[in-house]
Amino acid sequence: MSKSKIQISKQKFLVLSFALCALSFTLDCFARDVNFEITVGRHKVSLGEPLELNLTFSDTQNMPALQLPPLEGFQLRYLGPSTRMSIVNGKVSSSITHVYTLLPTKEGIFKIGPFKLEYNNDNYSSNSIDIEVVKGPVQGAPSESQQGSEAQDLSDRIFLRVQAQKNKIYLNENVPVTAKLYVNRLGVRDIEYPQLIHEGMSLAGFDQPKQYRDVINGVGYDVIEFNTNMFGVRPGEFRLGPATLKCNLIVRKEPQGGTSSSFDDFFGSDFFNNFFGRYETYPLNLKSPDIPITVLALPEENRPQDFSGAIGDFDMEVSLAPEEVKVADPVTLKVIIKGEGNFNTVNPPEIKSDRNFKVYEPQAKQEKGRKIFEQILLPMNAAVKELPALYFSFFDPKTAQYRTLTKGPFALKVLKPEKEEELKIIESTRPGMPAFEEKLGRDIVYIKDSLGGLRKKGEFVYKNKMFLWLQMFPLLVFLLLFGFHARSEKLRTDIRYARQLKAPGKAKQGLNKAKGYLGAGKTREFYDTVFQTLQEYLGDKFHFASQSITISIVDDNLKGKSYPPQVLDQLRSVFSDCDMARFAASEFSRADREKTLKNLQEVIDYFQRNKVL
Partner 1 sequence: MRKKKSKLNQWVLAVFLAGSCALSCISVAQAQENSELRKLFIEANFAYKDSRYEEAAAQYEKILKKGYENGNLYYNLANSYFKKGDLGKTVLYYERAMFFMPYDSDLKSNYDYVRSLLNLGLPEIPGSRFQRWIDRLFAGVSINGLAYFLSFLYMAAMAILSLNLFLKRFRRFSMPILILLGLLFLPAALSLNRKIDTFNNAAVVISKLADVKFEPFETATTFFKLPEGSIVEILGKTGNGYKIKRSDGKLGWISASSVEAIKE
Binding site for partner 1 (CB under 8 A): 193, 195-197, 202-205, 233, 244, 442-458, 460-462, 467, 470-471, 474-475, 477-478, 481-482, 485
Which C-beta is closer to partner 1: that of 89 or that of 260? 89
Smallest gap from residue 478 Cβ to partner 1 (A): 5
Whether the CB-CB separation of 230 and 203 falls below 8 Å is answered with yes
Which C-beta is closer to partner 1: that of 279 or that of 484? 484
Q: Which residues of 399-429 are buried (b: 16+ CB within 10 A; e: fewer)?
A: eeebeebeeeebebebeebeeeeeeeeeeee
Q: Sign (positive/negative) of CA torsion 294, 299, 303, 305?
A: positive
Residue 171 DSSP code: B
Phi, psi of 514 (to 5 degrees): -65, -40
Which C-beta is closer to partner 1: that of 110 or that of 193? 193
Q: How many CB atoms lie within 10 A of CB 392?
A: 25
Smallest gap from residue 345 Cβ to partner 1 (A): 12
Which C-beta is closer to partner 1: that of 223 or that of 364? 364
Q: How many Å apart are CA 582 and CA 562, to the nearest integer?
A: 31
Smallest gap from residue 149 Cβ to partner 1 (A): 36
Q: How many Å apart are CA 157 and CA 247, to the nearest integer?
A: 14
Which C-beta is closer to partner 1: that of 69 or that of 453? 453
Q: How many Å apart are CA 49 and CA 134, to the nearest integer?
A: 10
CA 287 to chain centre: 28
Smallest gap from residue 396 Cβ to partner 1 (A): 24
Which C-beta is closer to partner 1: that of 197 or that of 558? 197
Smallest gap from residue 442 Cβ to partner 1 (A): 6
Q: How many Å apart are CA 142 and CA 133, to the nearest integer?
A: 15
- Residue ranges of E strands in 115-242: 116-119, 122-125, 129-134, 158-164, 168-170, 175-183, 187-189, 195-196, 201-203, 210-216, 219-232, 236-240
The secondary structure element, H or E, covering residue 555 is: none
* Beta-carbon contacts of residue 52 (< 8 Å; ≥ 6 apart): 40, 41, 99, 100, 101, 102
Whether the CB-CB separation of 27 and 67 falls below 8 Å is answered with no
Smallest gap from residue 196 Cβ to partner 1 (A): 7
Residues pairing with 392 in the sheet: 405
Whether the CB-CB separation of 199 and 240 falls below 8 Å is answered with no
Which C-beta is closer to partner 1: that of 228 or that of 599? 228
Which C-beta is closer to partner 1: that of 3 or that of 352? 352
Smallest gap from residue 444 Cβ to partner 1 (A): 4
Which C-beta is closer to partner 1: that of 432 or that of 453? 453
Smallest gap from residue 451 Cβ to partner 1 (A): 4
Helix, coil or strand: residue 544: coil
Smallest gap from residue 446 Cβ to partner 1 (A): 8
Smallest gap from residue 475 Cβ to partner 1 (A): 6
Which C-beta is closer to partner 1: that of 185 or that of 371? 371
CA 495 to chain centre: 71
Which C-beta is closer to partner 1: that of 60 or that of 228? 228
CA 470 → CA 410, 463, 466, 475, 481, distances in Å?
Answer: 74, 12, 6, 10, 18
Which C-beta is closer to partner 1: that of 301 or that of 361? 361
- Residue ranges of E strands in 147-200: 158-164, 168-170, 175-183, 187-189, 195-196
β-strands 129-134, 44-46: how paired? parallel
Phi, psi of 125 (to 5 degrees): -135, 135
Which C-beta is closer to partner 1: that of 229 or that of 532? 229
Which C-beta is closer to partner 1: that of 163 or that of 202? 202
Smallest gap from residue 162 Cβ to partner 1 (A): 13
Smallest gap from residue 482 Cβ to partner 1 (A): 6
Q: Which residues of 491-518 are buried (b: 16+ CB within 10 A; e: fewer)?
A: eeeeeeeebeeebbebbeebbebbeebb
Smallest gap from residue 486 Cβ to partner 1 (A): 9
Smallest gap from residue 179 Cβ to partner 1 (A): 13
Find the DSSP H helices in 220-269. 262-267
Q: Sign (positive/negative) of CA torsion 452, 457, 460, 463?
A: negative
